[in-house]
Structure 1
Amino acid sequence: MFRFRRFLVLPLLFVFTLVLSACQTTTAPKWWEVPGTSPNAQGQGSGSTFDPTAQPRAGAEIPPWDPSQPTVQQPDAEVKAQEWMNQYDPRGGIQAARVGLLLPLTGRAAKVGQEIMNAAQLALFDFAGPRYELLPYDTKSTPEGAMQAAQYAISDGVSIIIGPLLSESARAVSPLLQAANVNALAFTNDSRAASENVFVLGVRPEEEVKRIIDFAALQGSSRFALLTSADEYGMRVRSAFEETVRENGAQTSKVVQYLSGVDDLPALIRDMADYDRRRQALVRQQNALKGKTDALSNKARARLKLLQTLGDVDFDALLVAAGGNALQTIAANLPYFDIDPKKVRILGTSLWETNWVHAEPALMGGWFAAPSAKNRTDFVEQYKAAYGHPPHPLSTLAYDAIALSAVLAKDTGEADYSRQTLTDPAGFLGRNGIFRLHPSGLAERGLAVLQVHQKAFREISPAPNSFAPALN
């Protein structure tokens, strides 16, 4: 259950109002009459045609408009104005907490956007009250579409924005949000998207790297190697890796980065493992025993036959920050080039959290950092029951963000989405575990350490239940 840390009990089910289209507007009357005149001021009858080239009519000229005077000279003008506003207000004049949801409902990320929309609706059923409105806007999977969606949301009077999804879209809308003083909880995990009004809600790889390196160092690892991609993700991982190793007083032995589809991964792993030198050392030792028939030499010869190489690699922990096909290739080549998991602890990130990893012998027993599954198990089952398939990993972020915005909304329709409230040091408990937002715009999360087993991932270091005092 999503829990705002300052409350003990939260209601689970409310009636909600969901506005499915923010782009449809009601055509309102136009205020085109000149003040002090009527539509027939130029003398046309109901069947006449206005001729813009005709000479001005005779008689007194229209007096200049004095902006300090009311346009409508009626004693009940304010009452009639409010009635007019209510007529074109879909809320009927009732105050409600308005929340904008910026999603890629079309374009290259539309499939993920629909998954997020599904999770948002589940959160509405669980948490939203009668004075809560969620208005979805399509970002069209582009920064330009996100900017237009943000403009629509701001003009519709939203108090907070959930989204957008993509990093470039989050950066694009930041100036608009700052000008309107509206905060956003973006789904990206790119720390560069954080700003004065944009909070990065995604699970950042930097956090995962720090958690797993800290844990491995606590268990005795002291010489670390890194194998990751040479793209933006890999550079962020490398920076966090080197900083965390240094903070633990440990040693960085090797850093190997590859370009997907370009570099020869087996060759890079062979070089990282110093395989050729270690192989030659074995061959030299075997040659030295040739011709010797004493018992000790025979015993040594039998032992060497079981080895691929002689000597150890120069690291006792290897962080493999990769997923998908790259991780499969790496897992196949680690034992081939004699990186022994009995001597080298294999570490990973949440990219490991997929079913096929259980079938990889080289990853068996490995550790990786990720949000605890305990908090999101119920959500996964709820999602599958509603939509017939498991949720996208980002769906939990959407559920948490919508739930947070609903919890902060009051039954009166008022809502406190201020920066001070959002950055409460106590944090919040969501489907991905505890999290809190820092004034820097980054989210801090409590992560668990999981171990790979044949049929499941076992949690060997639980996620924390509360945060240490925040350091700003």
Structure 2
Amino acid sequence: MIAVFRAARKPKALLATLLTLLAACQPVNLGSGGPSINTNRPVPVALLVPGGSATPGDQVIARSLENAARLAISDLRGVDVDLRVYNTGGRPDQASAVAKQAVGDGAKIILGPLYAQSANAAGLAAASRGVNVLSFSNNTSIAGGNVFVLGPTFENTANRLASYAVAQGRRDFMVVHDPDVSGQTGRAAVESAAARTGARIAATATYELSQNGVVQAIPGIASQAQSSGASAIFFTASTAGALPLLAQLLPENGVDPETIRFIGLTRWDIPPSTLAMPGLQGGWFALPDPNLNASFEARYSSAFGEAPHPAAGLAYDGIAAIGALASQGNADALTAGALTQASGFAGVNGVFRLRPDGTNERGLAVAEIRNNQVIVIDPAPRSFGGAGF
């Protein structure tokens, strides 16, 4: 087992190793679905960020995404990238307009946008020219055609955690989910993962999305958990939503987290104060390879004097994948067939690959909260075919 909170050493060397791994990927299975590139010239890449948005924080995200992309470009070997940055304002209509502009300017692939509706609009705008879009979104409903999502998905996380839970003898799942679209998506992901791993859905429960609604639902949820035979409860709620109440009130209503393991589809280490919640001690969640992620954060902070936004690594990964494919000298390096190579890519969030349906698979570690700290109890795989795949 590996403790997460450990100082990263030699981040530059670690990132250089990542790029070597990228260049060493298996030969791509080239196919249609993307424009040809001139292998003797820099690859024109459009980066769509939420700059100019009226939403607080979007400018910080935009800066972080651009910085990470430029950091990735500086780490590439044997290929040049001509990065062109376009602001979407966080709006679908503007995302559509700048995507058309980017394609008109010669972009061979679009990296971004962040938000699902904007990514969908950008994909539609670029589709007629056959330009692929590597969105930072994690919303799989927009995936497909020329749109790929780079963000971590409920489906991928659920598969990883369900596989680990079953391996530990916990085969009876209860799903406690938010009532909104995100919660329903999470519930469906756990149900699918259960079927895939041979687990049983023992019960499902939800609540009104308010403090009073959660409090009123707790007795019924606790009763279901105890009577259903569940050995694990999957929560879709985030630390900014219902999770703190659920983690506090379910144990107070007789649900023992040692008997019925608490498992989360969201990151329980963000913000770090979540780690101190008594009800989450012993709980499991998934996260990217912490050593690789710490190395990236150290390198980014050294270069730009501030910590990266959590989404910044997706921009690095996107550029690194583009660079790895282009470095092989194939004119059709950015087609759908090339982007979906089975061997995938190695990035600052670990190994990942894009699927033909536009979704992704990411190598994730399984972590446990223990004594207010994050402990990795099953490391992230370093290649496809390893643990969790």
Instruction: Render the CA deviation track for 1:90-130: whole Å, top value 9, x for unaligned.
Output: xxxx9321111111111123332222112112212222767
For 2:189, the equivalent position in structure 1 comes to 240
Tell me whether 1:461 sits opposite 2:378 in the alignment: yes
Instruction: List alignment gaps of at least 5 residues for structure 2.
Output: 1-14, 26-39
8 Å CA contact retained: 2:79, 2:323: no
1:13 — aligned with what?
A: none
1:281-322 Cα deviation digits (max 9, x unpaired): xxxxxxxxxxxxxxxxxxxxxxxxxxxxxx876422111222
Letter in 2 for 1:385: S
- Residue 264 (structure 1) aligned with residue 180 (structure 2): no
Distance in 2 separating the partners of 1:102 and 1:453: 39
Change (3 A) 1:432 1:6: closer
1:420–1:328 distance in 2 versus 1, CA, 3 Å: same
Q: CA offsets per residue over residues 389-431 of structure 1, 9 Å max, x none?
A: 3221111101111122233334999772122211111111101
RMSD: 2.5
Counterpart mapping for 1:431-446 below 5 A: 431-446=348-363
2:237 to 309, 322, 326: 322
Task: State the AA in 2 paired with 1:203.
Answer: P
Please say if 1:230 is aligned against 2:179. yes
Aligned partner (choices 316, 320, 326) of residue 409 of structure 1: 326
Higher relative contact order (CA 8 A, sep 6+): 2
Is 2:54 aligned against 1:105? no
Q: Deviations over 1:233-288 (max 9, x none)?
A: 1111111112222333333222122332275212212111129xx9xxxxxxxxxx
The answer on 1:393 being equivalent to 2:322 is no
In 2 relative to 1, CA 347–237 (structure 1 residues): closer, same or farther, beyond 3 Å?
A: same
Corresponding residue number in structure 1 for 2:120: 171
Q: Structure 1: 5+ residue runs without aligned partners? A: 10-93, 279-310
| Cα distance in 2 for residues equivalent to 1:127 and 1:368 | 32
Distance 1:138 1:273 in 2: 47
- The answer (yes or no) to whether the contact 2:286–2:366 under 8 Å persists in 1 is yes
2:256 aligned residue: 340
8 Å CA contact retained: 1:131, 1:411: no
Compared CA separation, residues 6 and 393, structure 1 to 2 (3 A):
closer
- What does residue 93 of structure 2 align with? 144
Instruction: Specify the SS of the correspondent of 1:408.
Output: helix
- TM-score of the two chains, using structure 1 as the length reference: 0.69
In 2, the alpha carbon distance for the partners of 1:372 and 1:321 equals: 21
* Contact 2:156-2:360 within 8 A present in 1 as well: no
Q: How do 1:142-291 residues align onto structure 2 when only pairs under 5 Å count?
A: 142-261=91-210, 264-274=213-223
* SS of 1:266 mapped into structure 2: helix
The residue type paired with residue 384 of structure 2 is F
1:45-64 pair list within 5 angstroms: none
Matched residue type, 2:51:
L
Does 1:125 pair with 2:91? no
Matched letter for residue 214 of structure 1 = S
Alignment check: 8 A CA contact 2:325 2:333 kept: yes
In structure 2, the residue matched to 1:19 is: none
Partners of 2:258 and 2:356 in 1: CA distance: 43
Deviates more, 1:150-159 or 1:167-176: 167-176
By how many angstroms is 1:132 displaced? 2.4
Offset at residue 146 of structure 1 (A): 0.5
What is the CA–CA distance in structure 2 between the aligned matches of 1:249 and 1:404, rounded to whole Å?
A: 34
Per-residue deviation, 1:137: 0.6
Classify the secondary structure of the residue corresponding to 2:326.
coil
Amino acid at match of 2:47: L
Structure 2 CA distance for aligned equivalents of residues 129 and 395 of structure 1: 23
Which has the higher Rg, Structure 1 or Structure 2?
Answer: 1
CA contact (8 A) 2:287 2:365 kept: yes
Distance 1:161 1:269, change over 3 A: same
The answer to whether the 8 Å contact 1:98/1:159 transfers is: yes
Does structure 1 residue 3 correspond to structure 2 residue 14?
Answer: no
Does the 8 Å CA contact 1:408/1:415 hold for their aligned counterparts? Answer: no
Structure 1 distance, partners of 2:113, 2:247, is: 35
How big is each residue's C-alpha offset from its partner over 1:354-375, in whole Å with a ceiling of 9 and x where there is no partner? Answer: 2112211111111112222122
| Distance across 1 between alignment mates of 2:23 and 2:310 | 27
SS of alignment partner, residue 274 of structure 1: helix
Identity %, equivalent residues: 33
Q: 1:3 corresponds to which letter in structure 2? A: L
Amino acid at match of 1:364: Q
User: CA 1:263–1:248 in structure 2 vs 1: closer, same or farther (change >3 Å)?
Assistant: farther
Report the Cα distance in structure 1 between the residues aligned to 2:380 and 2:152, rounded to whole angstroms: 14
Residues 367 and 449, structure 1, Cα contact 8 Å, conserved in 2: yes
The structure in which a higher percent of residues are helix is: 2
Q: Which runs of 4+ in 1 moved over 6 A?
A: 411-415
Task: Report if aligned partners of 1:346, 1:366 keep a CA contact under 8 Å in 2.
Answer: yes
Judged with a 3 Å threshold, the aligned counterparts in structure 2 of structure 1 residues 106 and 238 are, in CA distance, closer, same or farther, namely same
Q: Secondary structure of 2:128's match?
A: helix
How many equivalent pairs are there?
Answer: 351
User: 3-state DSSP class of the match of 1:322?
Assistant: coil
Structure 1 residues 413 and 369, CA gap change in structure 2 (3 angstroms):
closer
> Which residue in 2 is equivalent to 1:22?
none
Determine if the alignment matches structure 1 residue 376 to structure 2 residue 293.
yes
What is the TM-score normalised by the length of structure 2? 0.83
